[in-house]
Amino acid sequence: MADTQAMAQDYQEVLRIEKLNAVDKKTLGELMKQAHALREIMQSRSQQIIRIRSGLHTVADKERKAFVMPCPDEGCKGYLTSGYTCGICNKKTCPKCVIILDGPHECDPDMVATAELIKKETKPCPTCGERIGKVSGCDQMWCIKCHTTFSWNKGAIEKGDIHNPHYYQWLREQSVDGNIPRARGDRRANLDGVTTHALKSLVKDNQISGQQQELVLSSSRYTRHLEAHMRLYNNVPQNDNGTLQNATDDEKARIDYMLNHITENKFCEGLISRDITRKRWIDFSQVYTLYSGSLNSTLEKIHTELLTAWETLPPTRLISLISELSTIHHACILQLMILSHIYHRKVSVNTLGPYLRQQKPIIFSKENIADWEKQDPEMF
């Protein structure tokens, strides 16, 4: 039996360890259940994040985002919802006098009268909550703060064409030359076989030169090159009417600033940097739009004239239109050179001559610009 005692002790040790394993196994099972539950919660949160970032909110979410006005708390950068609760600081505001509720409250009649007047004569932008007034005119409103178009009567965001005068004023202010840029989708001039044959016949009859004919044909081909530039800018976030948005995304910076995650100086530095980028994209976009639109317009005139009665067309009329093409190329290339110098960006432009050969992209200097200004547009 003495020999058996050692075996019994080993057996007891095995039983003790098995009991410990059984306890730990039970604990591990409970932890795995908790981990599984946590994974489901995290997955649900991740899906919620995706819905929020992609704009796929529920009805309750959208109602919560029906902003009324900025939060009256001086230290808060949030906005009041339709329930007059700030979405950032969660402070409640009296809907009658628009005073923050922090205890027993009695409305000031003067504040109530002021608030009622504001509510009566203004409506909140559905995107940013900025109060906007309407004196008369069309139902369409345009927020000068966030550039949202909405209906005054319905309060709904409008998609498509914008005809609000404040919008056109903003377009002029953003334009390089004070003119409203031509909208996307304008039809490109199509020089078909009849037009090309007419040009060749006019060259044969010595009514126009071979270089003038080539300028028309190469200008038509060059519009496709300009369309490639337009497609590049079309990939930038745009409004439904085809205008560039901020061309940058300030959303994250605005959120960080509103939540006091970044200082005002850092926020402003970021805005300035992104604003320069936005202006550069807008300036180049508008020049390429002007370039393409002007060429297409003149080419369409040439196409129409030749298609209608090229055999009786006075040579001076066609030469005048071809001269327009030269002027357009010269003026728009000059603008591209100026923008290249201002923004220190490489730009490819055409050489002088009817064949419109592309130069290697460079950053243009003041001397380059001055030399180009001296060139005679008729050299095209």
pLDDT in tens, 274-331: 888 888 888 888 888 888 889 888 888 888 888 776 667 787 888 888 899 989 999 9
Q: What pLDDT, on a 0 to 100 scale, did the predictor assign at position 342?
A: 92
In angstroms, rounded to a whole number, what is the distance separating the alpha carbons of residues 76 and 83? 17
pLDDT in tens, 164-195: 777 777 776 766 555 555 554 444 445 666 67
In angstroms, rounded to a whole number, what is the distance separating the alpha carbons of residues 91 and 73? 8
Whether the Cβ atoms of residue 165 and residue 138 lie closer than 8 Å to each other: no
Strand partners, 239: none
In angstroms, rounded to a whole number, what is the distance separating the alpha carbons of residues 99 and 93? 5
**Among residues of the chain, what percentage have pLDDT more than 90?**
11
Helix (H, G, I), strand (E, B) or coil at 364: coil
The answer, yes or no, to whether residue 245 has pLDDT greater than 60, is no
Average pLDDT in the chain: 78
Task: Work out the pLDDT band at 64, boundaries 50, 70, 90.
Answer: very low
In angstroms, rounded to a whole number, what is the distance separating the alpha carbons of residues 339 and 333? 10
Crossing angle of helices 315-343/264-309, nearest 10°? 170
379 to 80, 352, 356: CA distances (angstroms)? 63, 7, 11
Q: What pLDDT, on a 0 to 100 scale, did the predictor assign at position 310?
A: 66
Q: What pLDDT, on a 0 to 100 scale, did the predictor assign at position 241?
A: 42
* 18 compared with 176, residue with greater pLDDT: 18
253 to 53, 248, 265, 291: CA distances (angstroms)? 15, 11, 12, 35
Tell me the average pLDDT across 143-157: 84
Task: Work out the pLDDT band at 340, boundaries 50, 70, 90.
Answer: very high
Residue holding tokens 């007891």? 12
Q: What pLDDT, on a 0 to 100 scale, did the predictor assign at position 247?
A: 43
Q: What pLDDT, on a 0 to 100 scale, did the predictor assign at position 63?
A: 43
Helix (H, G, I), strand (E, B) or coil at 133: strand
The answer, yes or no, to whether residue 210 has pLDDT greater than 80, is yes
Task: Work out the pLDDT band at 56, boundaries 50, 70, 90.
Answer: low
Q: Write the DSSP symbol of residue 377.
A: G
Question: In degrees, to the nearest 5, what angle opens at C-alpha 177 toward C-alphas 329 and 358?
Answer: 25
CB atoms within 10 A of CB 217: 18
> C-alpha dihedral over 252, 255, 257, 259, to 10 degrees?
-140
Tell me the average pLDDT across 80-87: 80
- Residues with Cβ within 8 Å of 217's Cβ and at least 6 positions away in sequence, in order, are 191, 196, 199
Strand partners, 80: 69, 86
Prediction pTM value? 0.51
The answer, yes or no, to whether residue 341 has pLDDT greater than 90, is yes
In angstroms, rounded to a whole number, what is the distance separating the alpha carbons of residues 128 and 310? 57
Residue holding tokens 């908790």? 34
Whether the Cβ atoms of residue 165 and residue 144 lie closer than 8 Å to each other: no
Q: What pLDDT, on a 0 to 100 scale, did the predictor assign at position 180?
A: 55
Q: What pLDDT, on a 0 to 100 scale, did the predictor assign at position 171?
A: 74
* 2 compared with 87, residue with greater pLDDT: 87
Q: Is 29 exposed, middle or buried (0-12, 13-18, 19+ CB in 10 A)?
A: exposed
Q: What pLDDT, on a 0 to 100 scale, did the predictor assign at position 191?
A: 62
**Among residues of the chain, what percentage have pLDDT more than 70?**
80
Query: Which tokens is 195 given?
Result: 């037009």
* 350 compared with 216, residue with greater pLDDT: 216
